[in-house]
Chains A and B, each alone.
Chain A
């Protein structure tokens, strides 16, 4: 091979390697930065699930990158190293999917905080929807002659798809109901939802891409994935770093459906009162209570006139 050709080939290979490698390193760095900003701005109490998501992502990325580098160093060990790579990737993916669901739940809870009735009702509906979706996702993956690893991968894929659809629903809700909730597009709630929405859309598109290229570990989509995750992490970092505008006073018209449904939902959650209808022994009451009741009954019940008087009055009237 001539020198220019050799140099060109090496340069092309180095460029593609370095691009994916650089994106991998950048992802880890941005994850660490986002987590530090989240903790530094004292937002852990509100966004604990997002913090855990970032922590799991940092751990899994470091392990996966190390395994990849070990495999690059010695190709003979690639088969052995593929086992921990496979399980680390899919187990961390499952944990991240569940944590993303919890992030969606916590974002909804924060967004609906001023409308307590709707918040309670929405969280109840969300819990049921998420529970049923997870059960259906796990049940759908059963197929004859399926191996353990095949089931693991299929179940996690279904779970991720469920989580992505729920996330997109939340993003649509937050986007269109942002003003009645006193928020703006600069609010952290919107920023976190936007990042999750971008991730969900990218996951679904990647899932469709994998239908075309099912058994390729490295595809061109890895570069797109790397760019998208860097954009998402930068968005989260920016939203957490910049001071959040205060929530506006929520003024709703009296005819607002939000207000009406909030009142209805608040009434739905009330515990009912109880009335003693019968079989109450007098010993249950205090003497003072009995005295009050006796006096009240004396005032309320007007004594009936004698029977003869009643008959006379009736005949006169006739």
Chain B
């Protein structure tokens, strides 16, 4: 049990570190983040002609 939980926690931490390094290596000036939620992420600035596709799901 102890080994399983520790392995899970280490896996979470390593995944987070790898994802951070991947996002930091991106050529974009500022990388976006988003909530852990089923709600769609509004990635476009306000005033997009089609409302960034809001309501199209």
Contact = CB atoms under 8 A, between A and B. Distances in A.
Same complex? yes
A176 B39 CA distance: 34
A89 B39 CA distance: 9
B9 A197 contact: yes
A171 B46 CA distance: 37
A260 to B, nearest CB: 25
B14 to A, nearest CB: 9
Contacts, number: 203
Contacts of B37: 24, 27, 57, 61, 225-226, 229
A197 B52 CA distance: 31
A250 interface: no
B35 A211 contact: no
A149 B10 CA distance: 36
Interface string A200-211: 111111111011
Contacts of A78: 50-51, 54-56
A133 B20 CA distance: 15
A204 B16 contact: yes
Nearest to A80: B51
Interface string A270-312: 0000000000000000000000000000000000000000000
A86 interface: yes
B46 A82 contact: yes
A73 B43 CA distance: 22
A9 to B, nearest CB: 15
B33 A160 contact: yes
A258 interface: no
A58 to B, nearest CB: 11
A206 B34 contact: yes
Could you say which interface size class chain B belongs to?
A: 35 or more
- For the side of the interface on A, what is the size category? 35 or more
A17 interface: yes
Contacts of B53: 216-218
Interface string A148-168: 011001101110110011001
A156 B33 CA distance: 8
Given A161-B33, A211-B31, A225-B35, 15 more contacts: A20-B38, A23-B38, A27-B38, A73-B55, A149-B46, A150-B45, A158-B30, A168-B17, A171-B9, A172-B10, A207-B20, A210-B31, A217-B52, A222-B41, A225-B36
Interface of A: 16-17, 20-21, 23-24, 26-27, 57, 61, 64-65, 67-73, 75, 78-83, 85-87, 89-90, 93, 96, 141, 143, 147, 149-150, 153-154, 156-158, 160-161, 164-165, 168, 171-172, 175-176, 185, 194, 197-208, 210-211, 214-218, 222-223, 225-226, 228-229, 232
15 contacts: A17-B57, A24-B38, A68-B55, A79-B49, A79-B50, A149-B46, A156-B33, A165-B16, A171-B12, A185-B2, A201-B15, A207-B31, A207-B32, A210-B34, A217-B41
